[in-house]
Amino acid sequence: MAKKAKYDELAEHFLDLIGGKANISYFTHCVTRLRVNVKDKGLVKVSEIEAVPNVVATQWSGEQLQIIIGNEVGIAYNRVCEVTGLSKEEAVDEQLDDIRPVKKRSAAGILNLFLETISSVIAPIIPAIVGCGLTQGLLYSAQIFGWIDSASATYNFFYTCANTSFYFLPVLCAFSAGKRFGCNPYLAATLGAFLIHPTVMGMAGETIRVFGLIPIPFYDYSSSMIPAILCVYFMSWVEKGLKKIVPRMIDIIVTPLLSLLIASVVSFAVLAPVGGFVGNFVANGMIWLYERFGVIGGMIIAALDPFVLATGMQVAFSPFTVQNLATLGYDFLYPMTAASNAAMGACALYVYFKAKKKNIKALGLSTGITGLIGVTEPVLFGLVLKYKKILWAVMIGSGVGGAIMGYFTVEYYSFGFVPFGTIILAFGPTFAYYMLGVVASMAVSVLALHIMKFED
């Protein structure tokens, strides 16, 4: 109850600070931030939001305001929804009055909108992936230590459990996309399930013709995301169009029927194959770049990670992580993040020992510990972005650690909190190199900060 009360002031003034309910097009949250897509940025009182107790900072990403809370963001989100009446993970009606004309979007704005949309679809399903990923980590560790036989029924039971969210990824993505795009999420989930129906899976590689005219190629869409998201996006427009022309008396019957039939044909004929090609192209391209330029790629990704985190675009990498986990069985991006987080946490603890001001010392200790666990927004906005020397030291240490991760192709087995929060997910053949990269990041960043003679 006390934790909920911490966010009463934010919840009570939220709508006023954000420009009113009519100014919100979508409201959700990720691991550490409230994410509010607004229609008019000019109506948002950013400075007043930052002055609210327990708000760490704010950050714009396109038309999305990110209110950084920390690891209690779920509590804050629920409290805001309770007080304001906003629906959880659902868009506010776009047809409300007092909406200003939509501005023409630039290329950068379109890219931001695309990334925000993908992120908002992926973010709600991350807990399911984390749960299965942790199960995989525990299972792998138990097998390594000889606590369980990989041929036993018990192992097969938990292995199936651990693989479930990845295999049924199209269904999870479709349901989340349905909520994001404003169509019936259960109808969306049905379309996603259609993509991995046993009959469809059994016909992978074949092509049929619907009505003898429309070619329908079948592929294996298990563990894929983009096909489901594209198909549901199309269905959302079909459903909205039908609701405008179908009489309300028969809407409950006609709209779901035609939405599913039309979306199914178009999806299987065009959208799902295109989405599958794009998803495989991007995933294979990233794997190729990583394998071809492992050391340099790892160094650059890790060194730039603070800027990715600062702009809130770390969630945009979630689809790639999901794709890596589904196709490779491991992810190679998380070790880069581990190197960056380790550097930030180590520098914060160094600040604790070197700073003279009590408030800076306290900030260094608290954010250093949470940073090493894997929650880095407090240290990023509290110290790293405020002191250039810390930022440079973090980038140098991260680059060294990332290069090591890239050189040894370090594996991480699910979403988690790096470097140490969910260290069990790094247990595997490359665990020693994971620890080498993390320790090197910490040591080099602290050494660099010491050489630059940090002062508060």
Virtual torsion, Cα 59, 63, 69, 70, nearest 10 deg:
-80
* Token pair 């680059």: residue: 399
The pLDDT tens digits of the residues spanning 5-59 come to 789 899 899 999 999 988 998 888 876 788 898 888 889 999 899 889 888 888 8
For residue 93, what pLDDT band results from cuts at 50, 70 and 90?
A: very low
Q: Rounded to the nearest 5 degrees, what angle is found at the Cα of 318, between the Cα atoms of 133 and 277?
A: 105
Virtual torsion, Cα 292, 296, 298, 303, nearest 10 deg:
-160
* Residue 173 in domain: yes
For residue 321, what pLDDT band results from cuts at 50, 70 and 90?
A: confident
* Residue 127 in domain: no
Q: Are residues 314 and 208 in the same domain?
A: no
17 vs 84: CA distance, rounded Å: 12
Helices (H), ranges, 380-422: 388-407
Q: What is the pLDDT of residue 350?
A: 95
For residue 313, what pLDDT band results from cuts at 50, 70 and 90?
A: low
Quote the number of domains for the chain: 3
Q: Are residues 297 and 417 in the same domain?
A: yes
Helices (H), ranges, 246-333: 251-266, 272-292, 294-303, 305-310, 318-327
CATH number of the domain encompassing residue 50:
3.30.1360.60
Boundary (domain end) residue, out of 48, 68, 92? 92
For residue 1, what pLDDT band results from cuts at 50, 70 and 90?
A: low
- The pLDDT of residue 188 is above 70: yes
Q: Are residues 339 and 257 in the same domain?
A: no
Q: Are 448 and 392 in contact (CB under 8 A)?
A: yes
* Residue 124 in domain: no
Q: Are residues 430 and 301 in the same domain?
A: yes
Instruction: Tell me the β-bridge partners of 28.
Output: 35
Other CB atoms within 10 A of residue 421 CB: 17
Regarding pTM above 0.85, the answer is no
Q: Are residues 78 and 34 in the same domain?
A: yes
**CA 456 to the chain's CA centroid:** 34
For residue 248, what pLDDT band results from cuts at 50, 70 and 90?
A: confident
The residue range of the domain holding 13 is: 2-92
* Residue 189 in domain: yes
**Which tokens belong to 143?**
């097998």
392 vs 361: CA distance, rounded Å: 20
Other CB atoms within 10 A of residue 14 CB: 25
Q: What is the pLDDT of residue 2?
A: 61
* Residue 344 in domain: yes
